[in-house]
Chains A and B, each alone.
Chain A
């Protein structure tokens, strides 16, 4: 035998031995505390009356691929043994790469294959789900004595609306997404920086910044200064602005207060043709994306992008979050993931220094009806993101068992357990996640899982203020073709961010493309679904 062949065989053997040694070690990284608290949650949660006929049955859940300890898919693995103990039934978890989620799930539903009984998907699938009748309404399960009871009223209103369509429930409570503002509490409350800020900007350093104009001033002031003392210049803001890097979610959150205006009269939240609308004119399906509110917002985004590293034009989520978590940027705005990641030593060195505030408002907004700017502060809550939650496929043959599982996961005890353990990726959004006196939670719930007390207080309170106290909220786009609308928007926004075209031109191009998509998908049908999705009732 040749020497090279012997070496090859030896290398192969070493690889195999190492692989199987690692496999022999295979076990989930579950701590004793996790198990104890999970057991307590399991005991306390309502269990309904599992049907004995479910024993030995199995159903299948489709969820994006993040692994047994990853966001959203992780809790499915974690709770499986508990579910088996409870019902004698089990489930398969089928992980789907995030980028292929839509194709994979829609192919299954479109062809009636019915491989997935449950889909843990994003809220932007609803337009297709409902208009095609792919998922089943779940109201019938609320009074079913077999099902565990979950507290629907505790879900904060903007999220609750995402789980329904025209008042009918389709989704089970799980995750609660929205973008909030994260900042360096230690830096913004430092008297030295406060004094310098006042000297430079002429007013007190706002802690936290309440409007995008204040955010800009803060970022502009801190950008290029070595405020963390590492000997290098640091940044004001960090964002993910790369095409395909989910940058359009940033723009959604930023633009809402410039665009969404309160309705006149007693109820400022009433949806009219001109008020509390964001995406399209509900009478004509004409895109609003090139109206002055959007243009002003895009100009603000461009200004803000100059107060951070220019590399962020090519950044996706990971890079953008990392710059903030590593202490290189004084501010960012994003989902709840940043709050939970900031507490993990392997991802962050800012634990104990985190400040969180609800998404900023604007100093003025554009009234679509009067076509004039109104010089008044405007605050608009967002549900930007996926709010990953379970729905049941019409093609499932095990709908009741699937409903049992999703109801059980939606119970306050289990859902809150998922929220306080940050690795689950399930973000706060119910009264039992909010701190007393508004909610029912104690800060200790969060501290015992590793949160710094003040970080956790800021984190949860920011969501409380945004979803519980903000006067207005941004409509969510839930019509067929939503990902396609967002994709072209993403591209044109990027053209503006890199200076290829003006903000006006980028938004005009977006409008043109959106109209083409609407016409291709059928304007009248799209309009009907859009009206239903945002709760608009045409005036006769």
Chain B
């Protein structure tokens, strides 16, 4: 018969940390959920227990859908289209560039310099480029289009994809592609049929991160869109007006905005974990 193991001080500390972390992570979501079911008059008073401290109501949700429904749907649809497109474009271009940097040695502009240049694009404050981008997009006649945001977001997320994919391809044994070349594959086929499938977990996790960057982007969305192409970030910002921030609508919109990325993350979580841990343990 197994003896019950006593909880040691370390176990207790671990549990305390876990509980604190759990509360830390869950509290904002809990706040959003209960606030979305509160009347405005109940929002600012400290009340966290539905039915005991306040009577939950569906009014906020009802008002959002009846008055803002089409706009919210448009915002979510735009966010999904823009984020997915930008993520796909970023990994498509990023994996090609990353493969090039991993497998070929460039002379004039050295690989390291190019990698550094890509990295510098991540350091560039977006605010510094917003007016030039506005003028470019305006002269292309693309203001208030989803394409404009796809292009801009791809510009900002692609360096990340390039660098991650470069490291990923570096990790792959080059012998696998050489074997394919010996068997008659072209370089392009070897890339598509051998290297890319092996890099799938990294591709997925990179795409998810690019998707998340784009999903949360606000500045360019604000400047480059007016009505047709507004994403969810702008819809959420619209809860602040001259009568203050409408926290009850912030909550409803926030929960709606969380939904698509959360579903996506759940669907591909096994790839994310695998992609992020690839190369972590080396033989």
Contacts and interface: CB of A to CB of B under 8 A. Distances in A.
Interface of A: 4-5, 8, 11-12, 15, 19, 22-23, 25-29, 60, 64-72, 92, 94-95, 97-100, 103-104, 107, 111, 113, 115, 316-319, 321-323, 325-326, 337, 341, 346-349, 386, 388, 425
A321 B44 CA distance: 10
Interface stretch (B13-21, B206-214, B233-241): B233-241
B191 interface: no
15 contacts: A5-B267, A26-B70, A66-B242, A68-B67, A70-B243, A71-B243, A111-B134, A115-B144, A115-B226, A316-B245, A318-B43, A322-B43, A323-B44, A326-B41, A346-B40
A165 to B, nearest CB: 23
Among the interface residues B59, B143, B237, which one has the most CB atoms of the partner chain A within 10 A?
A: B237
Nearest to B138: A113
B143 A64 contact: no
B192 interface: no
Contact of B263 (A12, A341, A386, A425): A12
Nearest to B237: A97
B8 interface: no
B65 A386 contact: no
A302 to B, nearest CB: 23
B45 A326 contact: yes
A185 B84 CA distance: 57
Interface residues of B, number: 43
Given A22-B69, A25-B66, A97-B240, A347 B40 contact: yes
A107 B135 CA distance: 10
B12 interface: no
Given A23-B65, A29-B66, A65 B238 contact: yes
B237 A100 contact: yes
Nearest to A347: B40
Contacts of B222: 97, 100, 103-104
Nearest to B234: A97
A65 B263 contact: no
B247 interface: yes
Contacts of B226: 60, 94, 115
A272 B43 CA distance: 48
A265 to B, nearest CB: 39
A411 B70 CA distance: 31
Contacts of B138: 111, 113
B9 interface: no
B69 A425 contact: no
A349 B41 contact: yes
A339 to B, nearest CB: 12
Contacts of B247: 318
